[in-house]
Each structure stands twice: as C-alpha cells, then as structure tokens.
C-alpha cells in the first residue's frame, strides 16, 4: 500500500479515537479488520484505496469465509470496511463506497433449546426446602409465566406487580421499552408465598437476597442451574431457556405469532419466528383438519 494511503488510514484511526471517542477494544477490532483488507491488497497488487472495487471486496470476504470465519465475524469486518470507505468519501478521496452493496453470507439460525411441558412441570412443582428455594421457585414460575428476559426479572420491583388483574409492568425492557404482561395463577401463588418470607428491607426489588438486597442476574442464573441439577434435568438450564419454552409452548397452542411477539417484546416479527419450530406432525394435522382440499376421497 502506498505511503500516502497508509497516512490516510492512520488519520482515520485518529479520527475514530479522538473525534468519535471509540473504545480501545473497538479500535483494535477495526484495525485488525482493515489489516486483513490490506493483506488482500498486497497480495493482489492494489497500491491505493481508490483501486479497490466491489469485486475486490466480494473476493476478500469470500476468501475470509473459506478460511472459516462465520457470518457474524464477516458482518463485523464488512462494517469496519464500509465505515473506512465512508470516511474516504467524506474526505473526497473516493467517489463511491465499494463495500456498500456487499453482504456477508447468511448464518443459519440455530433453533433455541426448550424444555418440554413435562420438564417444566418437574422444574416448577418440586417442593422447596428453604425460604431461598421458595424465592427461586417464584422467580422460575415468573420466567415461564410471562416470558421475561433475565434483566427484566432482576429489575422488577414490588410496585411493578398488580395482583388484581393480575399483571406486571416491565419498565426496563430491551431498548428501554415498557410493556404490560399477564401473570399466571401459579406464578401469583408462588410470588405471594415468597413475599411472606421476603426479608424486611427498604430495597424495592421483588426478589432479594437473604440480606435484603436485590438479587443479581448472575445469582439468578446460578440458582436456576443449581435447581436444574438438584431435580435431575439432563442438561444445563438457563433463564432464557424458560423464555424459549414460554414462547414455544404458547405458539404450539395458539398459533398466534403476533401475540407472542407482543408478549416477548420483540420489535420485529422475524425475531419471534425462531420460536416457530413446531413439529411437522402437528402442522400436518392442522393442515388436514382445515385445508378444504387436503383430504382425498378414497373410492
């Protein structure tokens, strides 16, 4: 790469550090990603940034993909490259961004792991041996009852609950979005049972430690993992697995993806669609019962 172009790159990183106030971690990632592009340029005798065309970006990303990089890593590299070329555009060193229309290969979505209905029943209906286990069961019931995220459950205060409806208000959802959620009768009973044991404290949290402080997200994860091992579940159980199970079981029963989207607090329906992993037999039964031309007359 020509020395003038090296200087442009150095100025770009100064711009990110001083004007954009980018973190050291992100700066290192950007530098590494642009270095990979520089290596491609050296291999292909491209001396100037203006010599790079969309075909070069596409070939570079394809080469990185062949080396085993996944979709998310390639998307990050493309983001760094686009950002750099946008900087060159603003400096009038280029007339177009060669990375603008290039997309990384799509990553196959993994289906979320869920517990079946019997496993959930075993998890929630095992008797507790202490006040903390009573609290834990109330948390787990609420996860499954309302499809909460870990951060949302940890942030809940007593004032967020309404036992008359019954419902709860999520005030600190993803993206700072609020939403109201129904609470099932089993969860209501479990919470009321816990509140009778909850230590006297000025902390507004529903779920507290035995010292009266709000329980941390990490503690909730560890308590659920401990409970799963205690009752003999075959795999690691984490809070999001209960959220997955909530969504999956609700979809299997209702087939109403829009309602589940609202309950989960997803901005886009595409995010909710990962939970639509209904088994083919169930879909086939629905098809046979409802499609007007599904059934064949046998003569």
Residues 151 and 30 in one domain: no
| Rounded distance between C-alpha atoms, residue 18 and residue 129, angstroms | 57
pLDDT digits (tens, 9 = 90+) for 235-288: 889 998 998 888 888 877 777 788 878 888 777 776 676 666 544 444 455 566
Please determine, for residue 206, whether its predicted confidence score (pLDDT) is greater than 80. yes
SS3 of 246, please?
A: helix
Do 129 and 86 reside in the same domain of the chain?
Answer: no
Q: Which residues contact 290 (CB under 8 A, 6 or more apart)?
A: none
> Which positions are catalytic?
149, 174, 240, 243, 266, 275
**Same domain flag for 51 and 146:** no
Q: What confidence score (pLDDT) does residue 295 get?
A: 58
261 phi/psi in degrees, rounded to 5: -60, -45
Query: In this predicted structure, what is the pLDDT of residue 281?
Result: 44
What is the count of structural domains for the chain? 2
Same domain for 142 and 30: no
Predicted local confidence at residue 276, as pLDDT: 64
Report the C-alpha gap between 156 and 169 in whole angstroms: 8
Q: Residue 294 — very low, low, confident or very high, per pLDDT cuts 50/70/90?
A: low
In the predicted structure, residue 142 carries a pLDDT above the cut 80: yes
Average pLDDT along the chain: 85
Give the domain extent around 201: 117-279
Quick one: 16 and 71 in the same domain?
yes
pLDDT of residue 155: 93
In a domain, 234, yes or no: yes
CA 40 – CA 46 distance, rounded (Å) = 8
The backbone region for 109, taken as left when phi is positive above 0, alpha when psi lies in -120 to 50, beta otherwise, is: beta
Q: How many CA atoms lie within 13 A of 123 on its CB side?
A: 32
Mean pLDDT across the stretch 139-159? 93
Helix, strand, coil content of the chain in percent (nearest 5)? 60, 5, 35
Residue 130 and residue 275 in one domain = yes
**Contact 59/66 with Cβ under 8 angstroms?**
no
In a domain, 199, yes or no: yes
**pLDDT tens string 19-59:** 888 888 888 888 899 899 989 988 998 888 898 999 999 99
- Flag whether pLDDT at 15 surpasses 60: yes
CA distance between the termini of the chain: 77
Residue 239 confidence (pLDDT): 92
pLDDT 10s digits, 92-134: 888 889 988 888 777 666 667 888 888 999 999 989 889 999 9
pLDDT digit string (tens) for 52-98?
Answer: 999 999 999 888 888 888 888 888 888 889 999 998 988 888 888 99
Residues 45 and 142 in one domain: no
Residues 20 and 80: their CA atoms lie apart, in Å, by 14
pLDDT band at 298 (very low <50, low <70, confident <90, very high): very low
- The two three-digit tokens of residue 26, written as one number: 């992100």
pLDDT recorded at residue 299: 43
Query: Is the torsion defined by CA of 286, 290, 293, 298 positive or negative?
Result: positive
What is the arithmetic mean of pLDDT over 187-215?
95
Q: Domain containing 220 — which CATH number?
A: 1.10.443.10
Last residue of a domain, one of 55, 74, 90: 90
Residues in the chain: 299
CA 48, 50, 55, 59: dihedral to nearest 10 degrees? 30
- pLDDT for 4 beyond 90: no
Residue 243 shares a structural domain with residue 189: yes
Query: In this structure, what CATH number is given to the domain that contains residue 26?
Result: 1.10.150.130
- Same domain, yes or no, for 121 and 220? yes
My answer on whether 189 and 270 are in the same domain is: yes
DSSP one-letter string for 64-80: HHHTT--HHHHHHHHHH
């Amino acid at each position: 790469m020509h020395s003038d172009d090296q200087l442009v790159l150095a100025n770009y990183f100064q711009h990110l550090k001083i004007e954009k106030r980018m973190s050291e971690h992100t700066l290192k990632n950007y530098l590494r990603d642009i270095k990979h592009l520089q290596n491609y340029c050296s291999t292909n005798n491209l001396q100037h940034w203006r010599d790079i065309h969309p075909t070069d970006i596409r070939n570079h990303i394809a080469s990185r993909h062949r080396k085993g990089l996944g979709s998310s890593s390639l998307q990050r590299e493309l983001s760094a490259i686009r950002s750099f070329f946008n900087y060159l555009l603003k400096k009038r060193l280029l007339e177009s961004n060669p990375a603008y229309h290039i997309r990384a290969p799509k990553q196959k979505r993994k289906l979320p792991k869920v517990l079946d209905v019997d496993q959930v029943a075993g998890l929630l209906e095992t008797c507790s041996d202490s006040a903390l286990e009573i609290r834990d069961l109330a948390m787990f019931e609420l996860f499954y009852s309302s499809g909460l995220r870990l951060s949302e459950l940890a942030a809940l205060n007593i004032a967020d609950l309404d036992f008359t409806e019954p419902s709860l208000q999520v005030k600190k959802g993803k993206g700072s979005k609020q939403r109201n959620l129904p609470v099932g009768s089993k969860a209501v009973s479990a919470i009321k049972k816990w509140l009778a044991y909850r230590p006297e404290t000025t902390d507004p949290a529903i779920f507290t430690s035995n010292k009266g402080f709000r329980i941390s997200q990490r503690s909730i994860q560890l308590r659920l993992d401990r409970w799963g091992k205690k009752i003999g579940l075959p795999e690691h159980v984490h809070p999001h697995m209960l959220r997955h199970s909530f969504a999956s079981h609700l979809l299997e029963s209702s087939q109403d993806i829009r309602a589940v989207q609202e309950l989960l607090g997803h901005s886009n329906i595409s995010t909710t669609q990962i939970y639509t992993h209904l088994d083919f037999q169930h879909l086939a039964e629905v098809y046979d019962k409802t499609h007007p031309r599904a059934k064949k007359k046998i003569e």
